[in-house]
């Protein structure tokens, strides 16, 4: 364990104006509070906070962060209190220590839902002061460095938590060196055999080829110096976990993996970065598709660098990063560069991002997610993703995760633009909304008044911001629709027992069922989360016995008289899950229409024929036919793929006929047997995603409707 004087010396190396007495006081206070406590290794416990503080000095952080590291376990593990730390060291440090304590108490490796809930709390804590997570990351780094002293099951838990949460979080914050070290130490615990095999391969390779890193570094330095560029050149073999991950992603063995070495060129200015790039590309062959310019298009955490991959000695691929010293400082410390000191002054690095703005942009899109699992999905998507840079028609840059679509682009501009999106042009060409965007493309979003987000967009969008906004809009739309439907169902149910579904009655039912209010009750009723029978029973239990609105077990429609038969209208082909209404026909039973069927307009003057109906709750057999109209490309195998897609979704094609044939496309109609409306949505979504399908829509034929005269 280093002494207080040694720790102060580490800080004074980059900040001669440090408050040395305050750091020593914190050191003495922390040692006193932890006196008598020991780690699993047998060392005195205070050696851990001191090691955490020393790690943070490597990032040249301010006094408050260093002192917080020394005291970060005092509130949790000793008799120290928030008030005492505030009185001794100030409110700022007390708040930081309390924040680290709360993060420590989050059990981030529990079940998914609990993990998601804790992840939300972690992001909220980060939003208050990012230095809290810097201390926590350093704390985790030291714990991983000393993990061998823990029980095997504890090692596994900590390693998984590190791999899933802390390592990607460090990477997202721009602290790539910490991410790599955390990943590699977790890899050592989770897959020791895999890691050992990579290291053995490296040793064998070095025996066969000699010190490749030194040779390439020397060659690269010689070429750059020859054109008069002052630069430092460093090289290294990539970490075992980084290589293992590439082997898994590409499904290849070590011998076929080429870019296992990385090199870094540090220049004096931006211009020399591009000059060095040109020199390297003149000397070695560039690998197509492996060039990224994060200097002109920096990442959201401030990261700037030019990345390229070239074929080096013996055809071996090597990755090269080129950047200035200031860019390198941000690349090493990421968002933490905001608090870095140099020569006693807060470092004025023009590339360091404002932590408040950075964390605000990262958390803004997550705070609206009500569902914990959706929140976790959104966070992981953002943390693990690489980026592409696209342009608006005016030339503004929009940063998106790799794999993003025009829907993501539209929502990145503004939620209103996303919600009204009806199409997009990429580089001037109209493309489907599910098109994956590429670096440098220009995207023009086409909007229309009255357009609303569609459920299928959830399968198209990949960014957390877009998914959150789409879900929020769909919930609002569904709630309005379900409340209206719930009112109709409630009115019908209470009419059946001779009662009125007044607001007072429905409020009572809501209280009895422990729901927030009448509107929530109606929304739940309309969405089939509760039954009309249970609502009536909540108010009039004596009227909801066997003669209530219980249905016969084998009947699929509720609201028919005993013995009354029904058939689905061929004009609209209503499916379970859709709002329906019945038309009573003299001596012919009831014909069931979808509530939005155009044919119902012919019966507006005959209210006596109308019967309130709804589908039975629960799962239905796939026996309800619906027609789908498709426009497909006239290419070999397209129709076969369409049929396979439908079959994979457990739907059966009962009829198929062509409506139009052209040299380049076919228009056809399919009759598909389905369970319900959701089943139809699943089939249509799959068809829409097929690249050779130009148009998909449900086919309804008003000409098949029965006339009022025939119904009488």
> What residues act catalytically?
76-77
Helix 518-526 vs helix 532-539: angle between axes, to the nearest 10 degrees?
Answer: 150
- Residues 417 and 392: their CA atoms lie apart, in Å, by 13
Question: Which residues lie across from 656 on neighbouring strands?
Answer: 670
Question: Which residues lie across from 669 on neighbouring strands?
Answer: 629, 657
Q: For residue 489, what are its two tokens? A: 């169902």
- Residues 404 and 107: their CA atoms lie apart, in Å, by 32
Q: Which residues contact 318 (CB under 8 A, 6 or more apart)?
A: 216, 235, 259, 261, 262, 263, 309, 310, 312
Q: Is 65 exposed, middle or buried (0-12, 13-18, 19+ CB in 10 A)?
A: buried
- Residues 678 and 594: their CA atoms lie apart, in Å, by 15
Residue of 437, 300, 422 whose CA lies nearest to 364: 300
Query: Nearest 5 degrees, angle CA 475-CA 479-CA 483?
Result: 170
- Residues 556 and 566: their CA atoms lie apart, in Å, by 10
Q: Where are the alpha helices (DSSP H) in 129-175?
A: 131-145, 152-161, 167-172
- Residues 368 and 424: their CA atoms lie apart, in Å, by 26
**Dihedral of alpha carbons 93, 94, 95, 101, sign:** positive
In b/e form, how buried is each residue of 304-342, taking b as 16+ CB within 10 angstroms?
bbbbbbbebeeebbbbbbbbbebbbbbbbbbbbbbbbbe
Q: Which residues contact 623 (CB under 8 A, 6 or more apart)?
A: 673
For tokens 């391969």, what's the residue?
Answer: 201
For tokens 């026996």, what's the residue?
Answer: 623
Residue count (the chain): 712
- Residues 423 and 636: their CA atoms lie apart, in Å, by 28
**Dihedral of alpha carbons 575, 577, 583, 587, sign:** positive
With contact defined as beta carbons under 8 Å apart, do 650 and 682 qualify?
no
**103-106 long-range CB contacts below 8 Å, 24 or more apart?**
103/132, 103/133, 103/136, 104/72, 104/73, 104/76, 104/136, 104/139, 105/76
């Amino acid at each position: 364990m280093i002494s207080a004087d040694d720790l102060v010396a580490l800080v004074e190396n980059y900040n001669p104006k440090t408050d040395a007495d305050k750091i020593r006081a914190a050191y003495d206070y922390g040692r006193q509070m932890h006196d008598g406590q020991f780690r699993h290794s047998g060392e005195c416990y205070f050696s851990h906070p001191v090691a955490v503080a020393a790690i943070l000095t490597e990032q040249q952080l301010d006094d408050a962060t260093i002192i917080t590291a020394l005291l970060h376990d005092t509130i949790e593990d000793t008799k120290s209190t928030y008030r005492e730390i505030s009185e001794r060291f100030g409110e700022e440090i007390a708040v930081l220590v309390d924040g680290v304590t709360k993060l420590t108490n989050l059990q981030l490796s529990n079940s998914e839902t609990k993990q998601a809930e804790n992840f939300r709390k972690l992001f909220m804590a980060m939003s208050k002061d990012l230095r809290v997570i810097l201390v926590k990351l350093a704390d985790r780094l030291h714990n991983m460095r000393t993990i061998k002293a823990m029980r095997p099951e504890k090692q596994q838990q900590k390693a998984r938590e590190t791999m899933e949460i802390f390592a990607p979080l460090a990477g997202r914050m721009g602290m790539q060196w910490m991410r790599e070290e955390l990943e590699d130490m977790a890899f050592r615990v989770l897959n020791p055999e895999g890691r050992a095999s990579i290291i053995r391969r490296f040793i064998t390779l070095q025996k066969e080829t000699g010190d490749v890193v030194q040779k390439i570094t020397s060659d690269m330095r010689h070429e750059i110096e020859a054109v008069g560029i002052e630069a430092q050149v460093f090289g290294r073999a990539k970490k075992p976990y980084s290589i293992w991950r590439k082997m898994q992603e590409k499904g290849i063995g070590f011998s076929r993996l080429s870019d296992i070495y990385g090199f870094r060129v540090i220049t004096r200015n931006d211009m020399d970065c591009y000059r060095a790039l040109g020199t390297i590309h003149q000397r070695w062959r560039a690998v197509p598709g492996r060039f990224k310019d994060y200097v002109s298009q920096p990442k959201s955490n401030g990261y700037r660098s030019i990345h390229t991959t070239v074929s080096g000695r013996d055809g071996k691929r090597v990755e090269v990063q080129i950047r200035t010293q200031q860019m390198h400082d941000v690349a090493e410390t990421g968002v933490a560069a905001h608090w870095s000191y140099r020569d006693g002054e807060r470092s004025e690095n023009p590339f360091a991002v404002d932590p408040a703005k950075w964390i605000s942009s990262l958390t803004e899109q997550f705070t609206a997610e009500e569902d914990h699992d959706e929140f976790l999905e959104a966070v992981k998507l953002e943390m693990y993703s690489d980026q592409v840079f696209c342009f608006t028609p005016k030339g503004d840059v929009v940063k998106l995760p790799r794999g993003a679509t025009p829907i993501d682009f539209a929502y990145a501009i503004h939620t209103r633009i996303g919600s009204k999106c009806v199409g997009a042009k990429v580089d001037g060409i109209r493309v489907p909304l599910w098109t994956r965007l590429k670096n440098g493309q220009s995207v023009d979003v086409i909007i229309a008044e009255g357009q609303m987000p569609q459920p299928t967009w959830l399968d198209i969008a990949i960014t957390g911001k877009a998914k959150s906004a789409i879900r929020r809009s769909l919930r609002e739309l569904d709630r309005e629709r379900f409340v209206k439907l719930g009112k109709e169902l409630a009115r019908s149910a209470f009419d059946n027992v001779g009662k009125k579904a007044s607001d007072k009655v429905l409020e009572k039912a809501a209280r009895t069922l422990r729901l927030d209010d009448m509107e929530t009750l109606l929304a739940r009723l309309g969405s089939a989360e509760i039954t009309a029978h249970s609502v009536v029973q909540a108010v009039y239990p004596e009227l909801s016995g066997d003669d209530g609105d219980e249905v016969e077990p084998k009947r699929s429609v509720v609201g028919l008289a005993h013995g009354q038969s029904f058939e689905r209208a061929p004009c609209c082909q209503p499916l379970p899950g859709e709002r329906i209404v019945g038309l009573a026909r003299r001596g012919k039973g009831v014909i069931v229409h979808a509530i939005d069927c155009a044919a119902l307009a012919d019966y507006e003057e005959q209210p006596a024929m109308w019967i309130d109906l709804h589908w039975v709750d629960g799962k239905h057999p796939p026996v309800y036919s619906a027609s789908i109209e498709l426009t497909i490309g006239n290419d070999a195998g397209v129709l076969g793929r369409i049929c396979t897609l439908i079959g994979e979704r457990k739907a059966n094609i009962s009829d198929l006929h062509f409506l139009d044939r052209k040299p380049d496309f076919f228009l056809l109609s399919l009759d598909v047997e389905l369970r319900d409306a959701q089943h139809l949505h699943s089939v249509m979504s799959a068809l829409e995603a097929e690249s050779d399908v130009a148009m998909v829509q449900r086919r309804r034929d008003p000409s098949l409707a029965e006339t009022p005269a025939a119904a009488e």
